[in-house]
């Protein structure tokens, strides 16, 4: 089935899901020193909310952290003293997007995505969203425990360039755009959202811009231009588990 969205013709029957699902298995990706998610049936005395245990329905409680347990989309409320909700900040859901593949550079024993790499990969294009696939692109990303591994991250200069290019939505296949242990500086987050003071936002802070982390883009998906649909759950929270979908543009 084809449809026209934002003046682009796309085939809705061929979505490219770049999210990582949340499971309660040991294969669930983990970051930030937490344990795996919990998905367990509700129990009231002898009653168990599980059809295979005799209940009429499956009735599970789920305990998870959106930042550490899979693909999630966050707003600037992630780093501000005042509360901002992803459910209030993200009001549009379809965007032009450019998928790029970048091999982070070794800089002082860290692996960093630089401004030069982003600028070269975009090659003069300025879409609404950028999707960054890091190389090497291993299936292990879907199951990795990132805690205490110092994963690659985005340089502050690269985040500034993305912001100044008027790119509103940043998606990346890492647990954070910032260094795992950075003394709370969060330079890339602050640069992308243009947050200079976490207590008092400047007038040009980017309330309608989002960062999506822990995606996975399969190797067979080619770099280039796509239509992006960011789907979130309606959580009044700084972040929500999310399901970003790419569509080829005809």
**Nearest partner of 105 among 130, 135, 131, judged by Cα:** 135
Q: Give mean pLDDT, residues 35-59.
A: 96
In a domain, 55, yes or no: no
- Range of the structural domain that residue 142 is part of: 2-24+67-248
How does pLDDT run across 177-224, given as a tens digit for each residue?
Answer: 999 999 999 999 999 999 999 998 999 999 999 999 999 999 999 999
In a domain, 46, yes or no: no
In a domain, 41, yes or no: no
> What SS3 class is residue 9?
strand
> What is the predicted pLDDT for the residue at 66?
97
CB 166 within 8 Å of CB 129: no
Number of domains in the chain: 1
In a domain, 132, yes or no: yes
In a domain, 169, yes or no: yes
* Predicted structure pTM score: 0.96
> Does residue 115 or residue 12 have the better pLDDT?
115
pLDDT at 250 over 90: no
In a domain, 30, yes or no: no
Q: What percent of the chain has pLDDT over 70?
A: 99
Q: Is 121 exposed, middle or buried (0-12, 13-18, 19+ CB in 10 A)?
A: middle
Q: How far is CA 214 from CA 7, 72, 120, 124, 126, in A?
A: 29, 7, 23, 26, 23
Confidence of residue 7 (pLDDT cuts 50, 70, 90): confident
How does pLDDT run across 64-98, given as a tens digit for each residue?
Answer: 999 999 999 999 999 999 999 999 999 999 999 99
């Amino acid at each position: 089935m084809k449809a026209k969205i934002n003046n682009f013709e796309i085939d809705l029957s061929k979505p490219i899901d770049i999210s990582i699902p949340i499971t309660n298995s040991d294969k669930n990706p983990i970051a930030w020193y937490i344990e795996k998610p919990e998905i367990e049936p509700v129990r009231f005395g002898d009653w168990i909310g599980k059809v295979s245990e005799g209940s009429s329905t499956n009735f599970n409680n789920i305990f998870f952290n959106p930042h550490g347990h899979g693909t999630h989309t966050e707003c600037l409320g992630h780093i501000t003293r005042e509360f901002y909700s992803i459910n209030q900040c993200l009001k549009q859901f379809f965007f032009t997007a450019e998928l790029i593949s970048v091999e982070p550079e070794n800089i002082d024993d860290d692996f960093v995505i630089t401004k030069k790499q982003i600028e070269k990969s975009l090659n003069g294009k300025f879409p609404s969203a950028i999707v960054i696939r890091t190389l090497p692109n291993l299936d292990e990303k879907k199951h990795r425990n990132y805690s205490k591994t110092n994963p690659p991250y985005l340089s502050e200069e690269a985040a500034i360039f993305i912001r100044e290019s008027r790119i509103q939505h940043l998606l990346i296949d890492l647990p954070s755009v910032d260094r795992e242990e950075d003394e709370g500086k969060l330079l890339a987050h602050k640069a992308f959202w243009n947050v200079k003071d976490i207590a008092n936002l400047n007038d040009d802070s980017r309330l309608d811009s989002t960062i999506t982390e822990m995606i996975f883009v399969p190797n067979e998906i080619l770099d280039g231009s796509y239509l992006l649909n960011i789907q979130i759950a309606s959580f009044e929270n700084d972040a929500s588990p999310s399901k970003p979908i790419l569509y080829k543009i005809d």
